[in-house]
Every structure is written in structure tokens, then in C-alpha cells.
Amino acid sequence: MFLTKPLVRTSFLLATLAIIFAVLWPIFTAAAGVEQEEFEGTAALWMDMLIGPPLVPFFNYEAREDDIARVDHPSQAGQLDGINKGRKLVVFKSLAEAEAYLPDLAAEIDIAGYNLEHSPATPAEEQADPVGSIQKMRDLADMYGLDLALGPDHDFALSHGVAMAPYVDFFILQIQRQQTNPPVVHEFVTNLVPQLRTANPGLQISAQIRTEGDVQAVVALIDSLLPYLDGVSILTSPETVDVAEELVFFLRANRIYLPQISGL
């Protein structure tokens, strides 16, 4: 009976302190330079960007820690030296290429990429055995402690994508040639992605687009595919740097900054 009032006062004091902490914590973190952001829509997707020298400063400014800077050949890996944010990815066109370059590159990158395509760049024996080839690439990635990204062309994605999905961490859907034809893209993505996720529930999936055409239309296409995607992969070129920057601006437009103290 005699402890009732002290207990009430203590409870009131603790509740008051909790409220004060909740109100002041964003201010303290802002003053300490802690960036606070929440993301909606296309801004919630991680970004994988083909990097050339003109885009390195832009990537370092815009990138989050889950974003990816990519080069499409191991001979270009030096372009990643200036990247100081996110993750680094080098694409290999063949197993032999990966075997030759990974001993020197593995310590400098986070992800090994493999382009399996119906083209002269992919050896005939690898085209003939897509699943066996991705299994060997998986072994190489594991040997060097790297994640593995697969970017098959449209036909390989349809014919062997589901069988290859369990062996990779990232699956890149090449939609760039049809990005001006949304119905075709939707049919491809909406039919294939559920099968890929069944085969590998932990798979990260992105749609690859190019820096051409109507930027707003491309962003609208990615927005319409949001339920199926974890990321967006951006093909760039030296001639389309301005388009790449505009595309990223609109993809990342849905950012909500929590209140910060001006001047701190």
C-alpha cells in the first residue's frame, strides 16, 4: 500500500522518457549524419548499372549499399576501381574466361556474372549443356566466395531458366529488346518469374532495360512489373549518359526522407 504512489511516479517517469526518446531519436541520428530513407515503388528496387568512366561519379553519388556496378568483360574490371559504394560485378561470356580471370579478380569483386546466349561469344559446348555449364560456374563462384548472376538470352531463359535457377543468386531477365512492347514483356515476365521463384525461393530477379526511348514509358513498364522484381538492370553506353541519369532519377523518385534538422 505504501509503495503505490512511488510505483505510479516511476511508471509515469519511464513512459515520459520513452516518449521523449521516440521524439528525439530521429533528431539525434540526423545530427550524427545517419541518413534515413524509406522507399516505395520503383525506388525500392536495387539497381544494377553497366558502368563506364563517365558514370562512376554518378553511381557513387546515387548508389545504395545493395546496388551493383557492372562491367560486361573482365578486361574492363579496372573501371570498377573508382566505385566506392554498393557491390561490384564482372560478366564472363564463358567458363574458360571465368577460369582465366577469376584468380586475379575475385578479391576485387562481389558477384560473378555469366551471360549464356545463342551467340558466338558463348562456346557451342556450353550452349549445348546450359544446366551443366551453370553448375560449373556455380562451383567456380563458390571456390572464390562470390555470388553468381545469370543473364540468359530470352530463349535460354524460357528453355532452361527454371532448371538453372537453383544454381544462381541473381537472375537477369533480358527484356531490353522488347521494352517498347509491354504486352510481350508482361507475358514473358509474369509466366516465367513464378516458376523461377518456385525453383529457387531465395532468387533475386531483375529486369534489364536499355537507356533508349521514352524514359517515362520505361519507368512505367518497370513499375507495372514490381510484384515480380527485386531489382532493375540498366544497360548504358557512352552516348546515353544523360539518359541513364534521367532514368535513375525517375526510378528513384519515390524516396521518402524522414525529418532531418536543417544545417546539422
DSSP character at residue 211: S
Q: What is the pTM of this model?
A: 0.82
262: left (phi over 0), alpha (psi -120 to 50) or beta: beta
| pLDDT attached to residue 38 | 74
| pLDDT attached to residue 21 | 42
pLDDT < 70 positions in the chain: 1-37, 254-264
DSSP character at residue 99: H
Nearest to 155, CA basis, from 136, 182, 178: 178
| pLDDT attached to residue 258 | 40
| pLDDT attached to residue 115 | 95
d(CA 170, CA 195): 15
Single-letter code of the amino acid located at 92: F
CATH 3.20.20.70 fits 39-257, yes or no: yes
| pLDDT attached to residue 24 | 47
Measured CA to CA in angstroms, residue 257 lies from 1, 30, 225 at distances of 50, 11, 25
Q: Tens digits of per-residue pLDDT, 22-39?
A: 444 444 444 444 455 677
Q: Tens digits of per-residue pLDDT, 53-100?
A: 999 999 999 999 999 999 999 999 999 999 999 999 999 999 999 999
| pLDDT attached to residue 255 | 52
| pLDDT attached to residue 37 | 62
